[in-house]
Amino acid sequence: MARVEIQGDLCKSCLYCIKECPKDVIALGKEVNSKGYQYVYAKEPENCIGCAMCAQICPDAVIEVYR
Ligand code: SF4
Ligand code: SF4
């Protein structure tokens, strides 16, 4: 089973990962990280298929995908 891990504290809220995910796993949270960005999280982790599109598109390498 695939698992996605997002380091919220490093996220810059570009939202590319949300647009890229074919399964709508990732969503924008309400909280702000230490850099002042509203960060994303895995809202529907059970839907992740491990395609790693999110990890590839993230400009800050914040996302890791495990299969
Ligand atoms: S690995 Fe694929 S399905 Fe899973 S969160 Fe990333 S883009 Fe979405
Ligand atoms: S692509 Fe990376 S930096 Fe951009 S919102 Fe997603 S996790 Fe954050």
Q: What is the pLDDT of residues 1-27, one digit of tens each?
A: 899 999 999 999 999 999 999 999 999
Q: What's the total number of domains in the chain?
A: 1
- Residue 45: per-residue pLDDT: 97
Residue type, 38: Q
Q: Which listed ligand is nearest to 4 at the C-alpha?
A: 1
Please give the mean pLDDT across all residues of the chain: 98
Q: Which listed ligand is nearest to 18 at the C-alpha?
A: 2
13: domain CATH number is 3.30.70.20
Provide the residue range defining the domain that includes 47.
3-66
| Binding-site residues, ligand 2, Cβ < 6 A | 6, 11-17, 40, 57-58, 60, 62-63
For the entire predicted model, the pTM comes to 0.96
Residue 28 is classified by DSSP as: E
Residue 47 is classified by DSSP as: G
Half-sphere exposure of 19 (CA within 13 A, CB side): 6
What pLDDT, in 10s, does the model give residues 30-59? Answer: 999 999 999 999 999 999 999 999 999 999
- ∠ Cα 48 7 32 (to 5°): 110
Pull the structure tokens for residue 67.
């299969």
